[in-house]
Structure 1
Amino acid sequence: MLNNSKKQKSKSKKLSKSKDSEVKSSCESANFKSEQAACQYGYYIIPLERQTTIKKVKNEKDISPILEEEIPFGSSILQQSNLQDYDKLICEEVVKDFTSFTFNNSLEHQISQEDEYETLSEFMREQVKYEENYSYKKNYLNNQNEIQSHMVAILFDWLIEVAHSFHFKRETFYLSINYVERYLLRQPNVQISKFQLLGVAAIFIAHKCEEIYPKTLKDFHRLIQDQYTIQEIEQMEVVILKSLNFRMYPNTPIFWLNYYTKLWDEFIIDKDPCVMFKERTNEAYYRYRELVQLFDVCLIDYQYKQNEKLTILGLIYLVVAKQLQIFDEYETMAISQSEICDFYHSDEEGYNKLFRQFILQSEIYLEFDRRIFFEDLNDVIYQLLKYFILRFDNSLPRVLLNNQQFIDEMQHEELLSFQTYNKSTIETITIISKKNQ
């Protein structure tokens, strides 16, 4: 249940056909703009983010956004001189339209609470022990001379777009960045000319580990056909596997995000107000999407160094508070932290008390891991606020666009698992980085 509904073989055959027919166009939309990147960074293999122009379907009953065209815009963004005006642009949140699709709740299975608790406890005990074998430090750029933090962010942002274009799961993307980071930690002084090749080979390996419908090597070669050959991708794949000692199945951060959101939903379900993340409703679905998009930005920003589990809890704290309208203006809070500071150390009879209770009551699940206290979230929440300038993208994954039947037939955990791409990610990290200088 927590493993992203990994191998569900009952998928619609219709999905398989539609996905195969979109491979070529998906690859083209995810291509690097190498020549423009050379102008910006001085290296020919650094990818640029792209802006997707959105238009609405004329039929009001079918308002799912469709992709019209893709326009390069990275150079103009990074050359913005008036950051204050651009902050306002990023802070504008896309209006959520909850009528784009509906959920069929008849497929959700009822499991006894005692059996679920016993199974979950045993499973999580094993996962925590298993995780220790894959732990690594996030200072992998300390032994790299050519690769810089903004290059890592751009590469990971491109991998998100590749995963989104190929209809991959979030787990696939997080596996790929795990491989890249561990490889950079073990292999010093990786050449910048091989950096994109490393990313392509990493997500190629990850998709073979995770996806039910794998792509061919030619599909991935189309992404970078002007830079590397198929043989070079294969060689890099072998190098990565050997470097990581063929240990390719870590617990990724998205695993823990799904775990903690499940705990929150179980805790809040009988309370008022009931703000959930995995309820089979449109509102909960978009809330989960916003949570994950914020988490993506934090993890691909090399400058962010907080513990991943505390980051997840901090984001849950802030996203739920936003839903409850506890804070009037997140844009102001992202600039000045005084309001959140005063609130976090008060309100013992309100929201803070509720969240403290959540952490304490969930201790039985966390007993196998390091114990977490409400006070541990103090510094994390302050640092997370700055990422709330991210403009939330509520467009559906491409595989779900205009496909209500597929949504009805799909288990909810699998529907949540599709990776989505937010075109504002790199702009957000760039603005935060310039403000910190």
Structure 2
Amino acid sequence: MQNNVKKQNSRARKGHKQRNLGIKTNCDSVKFKSNQAACEYVQATTKKVKNENAIYPIITEETPNSEKRIQSQQNSSKLENLIGDAFGKDLSSFTFNNSLENNQEEEQETLNEFMRDQVKFEEIYSYQKNYLNNQNEIQSHMVAILFDWLVEVAHSFHFKRETFYLSRNYIERYLLRQPNVLIAKFQLLGVAAIFIAHKCEEIYPKTLKDFHRLIQDQYTIQEIEEMEVAILKCLDFRMNPNTPIFWLNYYTKLWDEYIVDKELNVSLKERSNESYYRYRELVQLFDVCLIDYRFKKDEKITALSLIYLVIAKSMQIFEDYGKMASQQAEIKCFFDSNHEYNQIFRQFIDQSDLYLHFDRKIEFKDLRDVVCETTKYFILRFDNALPRVLLNNQDFIDELQHEELLSFQTYNRNTIETINYLLKQKQ
């Protein structure tokens, strides 16, 4: 919400900091084969570029770093391996220096007025989510694979989550306006979209050659440039929408403010290890929901529903999340009950400035169907490793503002596996 101000204030500091750290990002040449059969993985060759900080093939049966994990998974049932304990984390990997956190000075009334303006602003960027209806070659599983790969690209380049979500927005709007995009140009569309997005969002942009290394066996630099121009023209140069992660961050901020005077120790953005991992769990669930094309619910409702479920999980309201993920009856019964947690969350929604549209506020009952549907994504095995740029950099973590630390995109290698499993269960 205040990204532009934060970027200007931290530009000099980040430049000095990154020079000292010597952060370097390299990537592999990747072949994109999204015309393969739905939900299949095929082996693809990977060409190393300088070091091991590489992006793996986006469609692969096995990767070197996950070979042992995949072998161990085969020794037990599929569902048991997908379901992970989100709280079995190593909280000793890093610590927070709370003395460096800045005070929030903005008045709540001013913030609410600004956010209402943002909801109204969305009207010029609104679009239908059935963008595959006018596509002959591109199918839903191909969209999931492309988005998953773009998350991995953003993670490898140390980009912010906003960068990925901007590229996702560009791709969906382009597919809606441009019918019958060829599958041979689909990865080119993804690379050009994240190339544009990173120039809009990142303080230190990469060169076009950095992105060309991702697909140098497929397309030329000139083709990337031509696709970039095509996207800009197709979208009428409207490249600054409010993305879903923008609203998720706003709702988490409101939740933390709401529980200040409550007997709840389940914050999402407090500068502590527990809150950090809780937030990481939330955004990984949010990623997998929005990567899955079949999930077309309103993104604001999805964000609030996941906050509802993640907080409930932190409070240990439900005992068996495996059962809850496969059978929604329990969560439906609980949501309709007069449980104290439901009263707290209903009050949070009623008192907060949450608008679905400019003229319609969100109500607690609006969450019911989406809460039940998003529960199934809790079979996702969470990846709680620190983003690559933060590994072994305690000083870097201490210097960062907390919002900036939370903003790095992370990649969960179980995303496509989870979506494929859910697809097979539905068939």
Indicate whether the TM-score tops 0.5: yes
Structure 2: distance between partners of 1:12 and 1:278: 22
Contact 1:16–1:213 (8 Å) recurs in 2: no
SS in 2 for 1:11: helix
- Distance change (3 Å), C-alpha of 1:14 and 1:391: farther
For 2:61, the aligned partner's letter is S
Q: Which stretch shifts more, 215-224 or 265-274?
A: 265-274
Unaligned runs of 5+ in 1: 51-65
Quote the Cα distance in structure 2 between the aligned partners of 1:244 and 1:141.
Answer: 17
Offset of 1:67 from its aligned partner?
Answer: 7.6
Q: 1:321 aligns with which of 296, 312, 321?
A: 312
- Tell me the equivalent position of 1:58: none
Task: Identify which of 109, 120, 128 aligns with 2:102.
Answer: 109
Per the alignment, residue 61 of structure 2 pairs with 75
Secondary structure, counterpart of 1:383 in structure 2: helix
**Contact 2:23/2:389, CA 8 A, preserved across alignment:** no
User: How far did residue 108 of structure 1 move?
Assistant: 2.0
Aligned to 1:91: 83
Task: Write the distance in 2 (CA, Å) between the matches of 1:248 and 1:47.
Answer: 35
Deviation at 1:76, TM superposition (A): 6.6
Structure 1 residues 369 and 300, CA gap change in structure 2 (3 angstroms): farther
Q: Assess if the C-alpha contact under 8 Å between 1:145 and 1:189 holds in 2.
A: yes
Shift in Å, 1:74:
3.5
Determine if the alignment matches structure 1 residue 17 to structure 2 residue 19.
yes
Q: Aligned equivalents of 1:121 and 1:48: distance in 2?
A: 49
Deviations 1:17-51 (A, max 9, x none): 37875233xx12xx4244xx479449xxx99799x
How far apart are the structure 1 equivalents of 2:230 and 2:14? 36
**Does structure 1 retain, via aligned residues, the 8 Å contact 2:134–2:176?**
yes
Residues in 2 aligned to 1:116 and 1:389: alpha-carbon distance in whole angstroms? 39
Q: Give 1:153's aligned residue.
A: 144
Alignment of 1:182 with 2:173, yes or no, is yes
Q: C-alpha deviations, 1:257-292, integer Å up to 9, x for none?
A: 001001111111221122110100011011001100
Structure ranking higher on relative contact order (CA contacts 8 Å, 6+ apart): 1
How far apart are residue 228 of structure 1 and its match? 0.3
One-letter identity of the residue aligned with 1:90: L
1:260 aligns to 2:262 (yes or no): no
Quote how far apart the aligned CAs of 1:364 are: 7.4
1:19–1:399 Cα contact (<8 Å) kept: no
Distance 1:332 1:220, change over 3 A: same
Contact 1:128 1:369 in 2 (8 A): no
Query: Alignment partner for residue 360 of structure 1, among 350, 355, 372?
Result: 350
Give the drift of 1:343. 1.1
Structure 1: distance between partners of 2:173 and 2:55? 36
Paired residue type of 1:88: E
Q: Aligned to 1:75, what secondary structure does the other structure show?
A: coil
Helix, strand or coil: the match of 2:13? coil
**1:128 CA displacement:** 1.4
Q: Percent identity?
A: 65
Cα displacement (A) at 1:85: 1.4
**2:277 is aligned with 1:286:** yes
Which of 399, 409, 414 is the equivalent residue of 1:424?
414
The 2-side partners of 1:130 and 1:318 are apart by 29
Q: Does 1:371 align with 2:361?
A: yes
Alpha-carbon offset, residue 191 of structure 1: 0.2
1:371, distance to aligned residue in structure 2 (A) = 1.1
2:30 pairs, out of 26, 29, 32, with 32
Match of 1:401 in 2: 391
Pick closer, same or farther for the CA change 1:88–1:152 going to 2, 3 Å.
Answer: same
CA contact (8 A) 1:92 1:391 kept: yes
- Corresponding letter in the other structure for 2:260: I
2:197 to 186, 203, 206: 206
Alignment map for 1:123-162 (pairs within 5 Å): 123-162=114-153
The 1:93–1:108 alpha-carbon spacing in structure 2 relative to 1, beyond 3 Å, is: same
CA RMSD across the alignment: 3.0
TM-score (norm. length: structure 2): 0.89
* 1:63 corresponds to: none
Check if 1:215 corresponds to 2:206: yes
Give the TM-score, by structure 1 length: 0.87
Distance 1:236 1:358, change over 3 A: same
Q: Which residue of 2 aligns with 1:414?
A: 404
Structure 1 CA distance for aligned equivalents of residues 292 and 364 of structure 2: 25
CA positional deviation for 1:3? 3.5
Aligned partners of 1:155 and 1:199 also within 8 Å: yes
The alpha-carbon deviation at position 86 of structure 1 amounts to 1.2
Deviation of 1:175 (Å): 0.2
CA distance in 2 between partners of 1:386 and 1:221 (Å): 37
SS of the residue corresponding to residue 23 of structure 1 reads coil
Change in Cα spacing, 1:227 to 1:362, as seen in structure 2 (3 Å) is same
